[in-house]
Structure 1
Amino acid sequence: MPNFRCLINDPKSHARRGELQLAHGTIQTPVFMPVGTYGAVRGLSASDLESTGASMMLSNTFHMVSRPGIDVIESVGGLHRFNNWSRPILTDSGGFQVFSLAKKRKLSDEGVSFKDPFDGREINFTPENVVDFQERWGSDVMMVLDECPPADAASQDILKAVDRTTAWARRAKEAHQKKGLALFPIVQGACDLEMRKKSLEDILAIEESADPWQGVAIGGLSVGESKSDFVRTLYELRALLPTDRPRYLMGVGTPRDLVFGVACGIDMFDCVIPSRNARHGIIMTSEGRLNLMNHQFKEDSRPLDEASDCPVSAQYSRAFVRHLFQIGETLGPRIATIHNVRYFVGLMAKIRSHLEQGDFLDFAWDFLHDPRTQYLGKEAGFQDYPLEYEGSRLRKLST
C-alpha cells in the first residue's frame, strides 16, 4: 500500500519534508516531476532522465490513450516496461484536456468525449474507465477524472464543476481495485476560496477510514488567472489541506512557484516549463533565465552554468549549444532539457536540505527576493508573497 511519512514540519512555515512509498520505489518530498506526456520527456532517454536525479515522472492518460493506445501499453507489461523507466510514475487523468480542449469535447455528468486530435475518432472518458486505464498500465499514482473550470468562469459554472468533480471522484473511488496503486482526488474551485473549501470537504467526505485517499491534488491553478490570484488562492488553501497525506499542486510551475508552494505545504509538483523552454534554447541558471538564441552567447565559452552540479551543464559551452540550435541539431535541445530538468530537480534537493537544516524560511525569503530567480516579468506579483507563522504574518516579501 502507498504510504506517506512526514519527517519534518518546518516550525516557521507550512513546509514539510517527507517520504512517499509507492509501488516502484520511495521518493523524497518535496519533489518535482518532469513531464513526459507520451511516456518520455521529449528528447530524453530513461537514462538521460535518471542522470538528472529525477525520482518520479508524469505522463498523460489522455494523450497515451490516443497514441499508442491502451492495449499497446498493457500488452508489453505496463507503462514502466513500455518506457523503460523503473522509478515511480504519476499519470494525469485527462481532466486538464477537459479545460484545454473545450472546443473539441462534449461534457456531461456521465463523462467527457473528445475528438482524437490525430485521426478524428471519438475518445470517451468516464471516471471508471480512466481508473481502469491507469490500473492496467501500473501507474504508481493515478488521478481521478475532474472538470477544471476556466479562471474567469461564472460562480454557477464553478459550482457545477466542483459538484461534478466530486461526483466523478466518488465513482472513481468505487472503481479503484488495485490498492497498491495510489489514487488522488482533485480539488477544484478556481480562485473562489469558498468553492475550494466545499470541493475539499466534499471529496474528503467520500473516503472511508479503511479506504482513504492516498493523497490530495490541487487542480485549476495556473490556468489563466492573475499571478496575484494564484498566490492568494494557494496561500489561503495552505491551512485547509489534510496533513496525513501528500499534497500535489498540478501543473505548477516556475522556480518561484515551487519555493512558495513548498512554503504553503505542497509536497509534489509537475510542470512542462523545463522541457518546453529547453526546446527553444531557454535555460535556467544560477545567473538567471538565459535565452541561448541571443547573439550575446555566440562566442560565450563559459559552461551553461558554472554553479551547476549537472555534468552536461559543465561539459558544454553556451556558444556550442547555441550553435547546435542554430543548425537544427537535436543534440542542442537534448542538452538544454537535461540541464533544465536538473535545475528544477536540484532546486527541490536544496529545499529538502534547508528543511533539514531548519533554515528553509530564510532560503525562501532570499530566493523570492533574488532578481536572478525571476522567470518572467509577470512574476512581479511575487513581491506580495506572504509567509505566515502560527497565524500571524512573520514576513511579507517586498522589494
Structure 2
Amino acid sequence: MASLTAPSLREPVSGNWPIGRIAGFPGVIRSPGRARVAFHGGSYRGFGVGVEARRWGVTRAVTSSNWGDPAGVGINTFRVPLLSGSEVAEKLREFQEKVTSRQNYMAMYSSIFGGITTDPAAMVIHMDDHMVHRGHGVFDTAAIMDGYLYELDQHLDRFLRSASMAKIRLPFERSTMRGILIQTVSTSRCRQGSLRYWLSPGPGDFLLSPSGCLNPVLYAIVIKGRALPDRKGVKVITSSVPMKSPQFSIMKSVNYLPNALSKMEAEENGAFAAIWLDDEGFVAEGPNMNVAFVTSDRELLMPHFDKILSGCTAKRILVLAEQLVADGRLRGIRLGNVSVQEGKMADEMMLIGSGVIVKPVLQWDDQVIGAGKEGPVAQALFDLILEDMKSGPPEVRVPVPY
C-alpha cells in the first residue's frame, strides 16, 4: 500500500457545531477554536478530523491531532486507512494466507448469500448478527467419517430443540436444512472431519431485542479433520467457574463463556478439563463433554440429563454398552445422581463427546482413579463407537453424495 503523504486537511469538529453547549450534555463545552470535553474533573481537547486521499481516490486516512495524547507527550497523530470493499476482501485474503497452515475450513454455507463458498476469506458473518453481539444463537455438529455423516439426524433434532428453546425462528423446514448441510459437505469434498452449523435471528441492529432482525439465518462450515482423538488418559479438576442453570445447560447455545473459562482453568492447572457440579453438589458434566463412571460393581454410571446437555455421543454409548453387559464385562447401565466421593472412588472415569469420543480420566484433583491407568471399559467403548462410526446402521450413518 502506498504511503499517505498528502498534507492533512484538519478542521476542528467544534467548528461545525452551531452552539457552544450541547443540550442535555453539559460536559461538552464550546471554546474558541477548539471544543473541550470535560470528564469528571479533567478535560480533553476535542479532536480534529480530516482525510487524506490516495492518488487514485480509494483509500483515505482518518487523522486525529489530539486523540490518545491528552497529556501532550508527543504522540500527535494516528492514521487509520479507510478501505473500499475490494480492499477489505484483499486484506481478508492476506490474513487467511497467514493462518492457512492452522485452519482447514473446506466450505461454508450462509443463508445470507444463499449458497456455499470454498474461499476461507469469505467465511465471515455480520457484526450486527444477534448471535455475535448478544450471544443469541444455537449450534450443533456432526462428525464426517469415511464420507458419512455420523448421527446427523440425532444432532439435527437437538439443534431444532435448542432453537425452539432460544425462540429462534427457522429459516427453512427441517428437510431443507438437512439437504443444505449434506450438500455443503459434498461440495467440500471432505471425507474426514466435522460439520458445524448455527442458527441465529440474523443481522439487523445492535439492540437487545431481536425484533429488528430481518430474517433468521443458517450458517454451516466443514472443517477437515486430522487424526482421531487418542486414547491416552488425562487429569481433570473440579471447576470453580459457576455452572449454567438447567434452562441454559440443556440448550446448545453459543453462550459458552462459562465453558471456555472452565477449560482455561483446567489448562492453567495442568489438566485436560474441569468438571462441573450441579446445585446439589452432584457430578454434572465437563465444559463440552459428558462424564461417565464404572463403579466397583461394574455398573456404567452416568449423570441424569435433566440438568445438563443430552450428549448425542453419550446417549449412543448407552446403547452400545449393552454389548458389554451381554458379554459380562458390565453388570448393568444406570443413569442417576453421582456424588463427588462416588465418582472419585470409581474403578474407571471417562469423558464422552464427539470431540474426544471416549477419553479415560486417570486423576481427578488429587485423587487417582482406579489403578491410575486407562481402564478396559473405556477402551472397549472407544472401539464400539469407532466401529459404529465406520460401519454402523443407516440411522446413524448418512452417506454424502460426492
**TM-score computed with the length of structure 1 as normaliser:** 0.23
Structure having the higher strand fraction is 2
Q: Which has the higher Rg, Structure 1 or Structure 2? A: 2
> Which structure dedicates a bigger proportion of its chain to helix?
1
